[in-house]
């Protein structure tokens, strides 16, 4: 599997952000720190580290945190108009399981199964740019 990663403009790839998305992203980031931590590292293990749909999609990098301090990087890329739309289902599930989380950022991932390539680039206006090499 070939891997490419670099930052580049997001021109021509659909909506980038608006005031409602900025507010939603901010709320998701804030709510991740307010979870009453009840989950454990086994709960953390139940989340796949990476779920990336085939095609070009917005992605988010989320750092899930168990009460004992164990951390796991989780990447999600899926259809959604905004990065917060991609992050929201994962964040809700993490909160339901009693796990805190941080969202260092997002961007876009292009997954090409025919050519066995993954390209990671760009940034999220709502969440910022994470270290793509971690994703």
27: which strand partners? none
List 3, 63, 83, 123, catalytic entry: 83
Q: How far is CA 131 from CA 34, 47, 103, 111, 118, in A?
A: 24, 20, 11, 18, 15
**123 included as an active-site residue:** no
Run of H or E residues at 41:
helix 41-45
Please give the Cα distance from 117 to 109 (Å, whole number).
Answer: 10
- Residues catalogued as catalytic: 83
């Amino acid at each position: 599997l070939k891997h490419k990663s670099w930052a580049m403009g997001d021109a021509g790839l659909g909506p980038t952000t608006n005031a409602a998305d900025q507010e939603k992203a901010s709320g998701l980031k804030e709510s991740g720190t307010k979870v009453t931590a009840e989950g454990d590292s086994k709960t953390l293990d139940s989340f796949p580290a990476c779920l990336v749909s085939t095609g070009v999609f917005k992605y988010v990098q989320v750092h899930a945190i168990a009460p004992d301090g164990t951390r796991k990087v989780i990447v999600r890329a899926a259809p959604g108009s905004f990065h917060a739309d991609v992050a929201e289902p994962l964040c809700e599930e993490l909160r339901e399981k009693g796990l805190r989380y941080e969202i260092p950022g997002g961007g876009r991932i292009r997954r090409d199964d025919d050519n066995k390539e993954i390209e990671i680039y760009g940034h999220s206006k709502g969440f910022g740019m994470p270290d793509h090499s971690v994703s």
